[in-house]
Structure 1
Amino acid sequence: MAALLTSVMGNTPKVGQYIQDCKRMGIEVLPPDINKSYSTFTVEEGKIRFGLAAVKNVGVNMIETMVQTRKEKGEFISFSDFCQKVDAKDLNKRAVESLIKCGAFDSLKIYRAQLMGVYESLLDSINQDKRRKIQGQLGLFDMTGDTSFSFKKDPLPNIKEFDDKIKLNMEKEILGLYISGHPLAEFQQELKYFTSMNSSTINEIMENPQETEHKDGEKIIVGGMVLEKVTKTTRNNKLMAFIVLEDLLGTMECIIFPNIFSQHMDLIQEGNLIIIEGTLSLKDEENPKILTNTIKPLTKMQTQKLYIKIKEKSDMVLLHKAKNICKKYHGNVPLYIYIEKDNKVLRADRDLWVKLNHDLIQELSQIFGKESVKIK
């Protein structure tokens, strides 16, 4: 799998898809690390270590120098030690900032927030010291008489670490994907239940349009986070939008026409989590798109569940009487039907999930009996 990831290093959506495949197979993908990573993706104790060549702004020369320095002088014990050991001509602030943001120094037990505050001044001080040594002058760190000791500990500000959202956004900026987590990770179950298609399937359609079973105009449901939004004024002077929706596997394009846009302007802001019901647009020589029909917020499913007990399958006719009640109290609580005779449980369609309240329970109890309507 490491070789497969390396083969698609320049294709961020593919890398993201394969990383998700690894997770599904129980293979952990480790973040970039200055003491463990190489240029390519590598296998490390049955896990896969992220390749440094996939880190934005980090050049091949710098990677080769880092790996060779690590081999000759041992692992880096601090950020200062890293800056002191690696040849100054291969170090640049932009590359070092990228390594900080993607978490490559995390194993040194240093907060990214601390390094972001001091890396430029530390890098400048150490590079100046290197120049002094070349010129035969007494360097700043030579004054201690023990150069190795001088770099064991970094002079870091006493500040808190960035919150998880900021760290994940940094990873996305530098790696093109999230590696230590994902803003949608806690909604994985909801996306599984609420949607009928994901970005991976849409990307497969794009790569193999002749082999797909999906059709132009097909009704689909997708969900995720609004990554980008561009608005456009139509000939009728009305606003519409083009958005990039990101799920756990990648991104997809959605078109929101004026009538839908005017109804849901508040929902389609960047960073919002939404569910879109629409139609799949498959046109020759165009990337697949989703034409939006309805937009809803993506919310957590309730931990509670509503159960209705019936004696046997023939009693399913009673559910037709309950449909309007469930739709009247529509919500995010799953509805389950327990068939007593068969000892079987069925989950109702998402459209029949409910919002729990006293009136709902009363109305359902009138049809099925008080003892047959339970919340668990």
Structure 2
Amino acid sequence: SICIFQFESAGMQKILTQAKPRSIEELIALNALYRPGPLAYIPQFIDCKFGRKPIVYPHPSLEKYLKKTYGVIVYQEQVMQVAQEIAGYSLGRADVLRRAMGKKKADVLAQEEKPFIEGAVKKGYKAEDAKRIYDILIPFAEYGFNKSHAAAYAILAYQTAWLKTHYTAEFLAANLTNEVNDIEKLTEYIAEAKSFGIKVDAPHVNTSEVNFTVHNAKIIYGLIGIKGVGENVAQAIVDTRKKGVPYKDFLDFLERLGTKICNKRTLEFLIKTGCFDGLGHNRRELLLNMEKAVAYIDKKLEICETGNLFDINTCEGFPPFVWEKAEEFSYQEILKFEKENLGFYFSGHPLDEYQQVYERCNSVDFAHPERSSAGKEYTLIGQLVDYKEIRTKAGKPMALGKVEGYEGVMEIVVFERELEQFRNKFIPDAIVFLSGTIDTKRERPSFKVSKVLEPSDLKQKSIRELHIALAPVHNEDALDSLKEIIMEERGQCSIIFHVPENNHVVLIRANNALSCSASQEVLGKIKALPVVQEAWFD
């Protein structure tokens, strides 16, 4: 329910998963209950809905008012109905009670108890039953919510959920535009788009609009999502492009837009985020030549506008710009620039080096940490994007941080003992491999670190298969040597043989009894055998 009005928090997502609402009425109730006071009644609501607990009404006569909320008093309107049914209150008198509860007026609530009980007795109810029902209503003053408000919220939530379901790309693009100044939201929403299989194209001067848009089922990153690019500059870039043709290259961009609208700082942001990729020069080359190119265009425009020396319309004869060549930035440098200027990685992720380990060993659901099991040990792999050491009220050291994975960010907590043991492993921007538990009781679940793992150990654990490509010609003795090595180095790694046969290769998976350890030493021994053409782990 990410991006769904009133229902996108981690806590609410957890409640929705448990409650499995099937109607607007249930959405209204959950929206009203998910507040500090009535939060404690949600388990009762869910258990009664699924029949795990019997529905208990304060009095049988109240079933018609409380049936839809499974016996739980949720709304202020229900308080009014109870007062009318039990104590015979008029609508106006019941509203006085509702307002007293809504404004937590203890004096009014105390004064109302006697007439409530007297009215109930007159209607044939027992005084003790009336007292018990009134006592049930009193705590409601701490959390009572207006159903009409909850209904409006739920309807809007349903509408946004409908849009997300049927126009997913467009809906997410609109939300990205709306949250353009919130890096955490942008990261979360882009991860959400990818989880739906929607590709998000990088910003570019020839394809991006001012805001985030959709084209051919892909989200196109909006120019205003780039740090340092204001709405006026973004609009000028788009308007100038639409007046003519796509920009041919960097110089064409400068000449058509003018160097006054797009200053050097903004140009630097555009270059570093890849907005000129594919237009003839790499990012390092563009940055290296940027100031010289701006001066060149300024001079060219000045001379051409005067009409001196050259044709005023074509500036024919103006000397060409001479580019100073340079190798492109490294992959890590490109990612760093994107992080600095977009707020997150776009072309890739520092985790890519450990992608196989991440996919096979990371057990934390970054997108839905609230679904984690209490007390269970998890493995968390990601980039340490935020880290600081602090002291508790008792003066003990501890650390707080954030670890970023492919699907989102997880908050981590490191207490004194683990901090003393692993302090040198917590390096900002480094990839960390952590073991610990997840506290789901908080609004934002956090990961309590118990151990820092070695990547080499995890890498070995992530290996599941050993592929052995056999040579076209081999004898039984050679195969016995291979079997001997495998039997000596037993482990959890399955073995797949690639056997040449009649100009093609047949894959044969060994039975479970034949498995080996996933060590480089074993791999080296196997590759050294004449019967083996190639061998590799996967």
* TM-score normalised by length of structure 1: 0.70
Residue 174, structure 1, aligned to residue 341, structure 2: yes
Cα distance in 2 between the residues matched to 1:150 and 1:77: 18
Which of the residues 202, 207, 218 maps onto 1:36?
A: 207
- Decide whether the 8 Å contact of 1:31 with 1:179 is kept in 2: yes
Letter aligned with residue 191 of structure 1: Y
Report matched runs for 1:283-322 at 5 Å.
284=442, 287-299=444-456, 300-301=459-460, 305=465
Aligned residue identity for 1:245 = V
Counterpart of 1:294 in structure 2: which amino acid? K
Summarize deviations over 1:266-298 as a string: whole Å, max 9, x none.
3221232222111223455x6332111011133
Whole-angstrom CA distance in 2 between matches of 1:180 and 1:169: 10
Q: Give the partner amino acid of 1:220.
A: Y
Q: Is structure 2 residue 278 aligned with structure 1 residue 107?
A: yes
- More relative contact order in 1 or in 2 (CA 8 Å, sep 6+)? 1
Contact 2:193 2:199 in 1 (8 A): yes
* DSSP 3-state at the match of 1:200: coil
Q: Which amino acid aligns with 1:166?
A: E
Do structure 1's residue 192 and structure 2's residue 366 form an aligned pair?
A: no
Q: CA deviation at 1:75?
A: 1.7
Aligned pair partner of 2:315 in 138, 147, 168: 147
CA distance in 1, matches of 2:517, 2:296: 62
Amino acid at match of 1:335: C
Query: Who wins on radius of gyration, i.e. which is larger?
Result: 2
**Aligned CA distance change for structure 1 residues 287 and 64 (closer, same or farther; 3 Å):** same
Within 1, Cα distance between the matches of 2:316 and 2:170? 35
RMSD: 3.9
Show the counterpart of 2:113: none
The alignment status of 1:255 with 2:413, answered yes or no, reads yes
Output the amino acid matched with 2:445. P
Matched, 1:226 2:394: no
Give the count of matched residue pairs. 317
| Closer/same/farther in 2, CA of residues 147 and 182 from structure 1, 3 Å limit | farther
Could you tell me which residue of structure 1 aligns to residue 433 of structure 2? Answer: 275
**For the structure 1 residues 357 and 35, does the alpha-carbon distance in structure 2 shift closer, same or farther, using more than 3 Å as the test?**
closer
Higher-helix-fraction structure: 2
Give the equivalent residue in structure 1 for 2:128: none
Residue 68 in structure 1 maps to residue 239 in structure 2: yes
Deviations 1:117-162 (A, max 9, x none): 121332244345546666x4859xx5898438869x7532211110
Give the SS at the match of 1:190. Answer: helix
Cross-structure match for 1:158:
325
- Residue aligned with 1:280, SS: strand
Structure 2 residues without counterparts, runs of 5 or longer: 1-168, 468-488, 497-509, 526-535
The DSSP-based 3-state class of the residue aligned with 1:264 is helix
Say if 1:335 and 1:251 are closer, same or farther in 2 by CA, change over 3 A.
Answer: same
Q: Which amino acid aligns with 1:188?
A: Q
Judge conservation of contact 2:173–2:213 (CA < 8 Å) in 1: no
Quick one: which amino acid aligns to residue 174 of structure 1? N
Greater shift in the superposed pair: 29-38 or 97-106: 29-38
Structure 1 regions of 5+ residues with no counterpart?
206-212, 308-328, 362-374
The answer to which structure has the higher strand fraction is 1
Equivalent position SS for 1:231? strand
For the structure 1 residues 17 and 236, does the alpha-carbon distance in structure 2 shift closer, same or farther, using more than 3 Å as the test? Answer: closer
Counterpart CA distance in 2 for 1:224 and 1:258 is 22
TM-score, normalising length: structure 2 = 0.51
Q: Distance in 2 between matches of 1:240 and 1:31?
A: 39
Q: Secondary structure at the match of 2:424?
A: coil
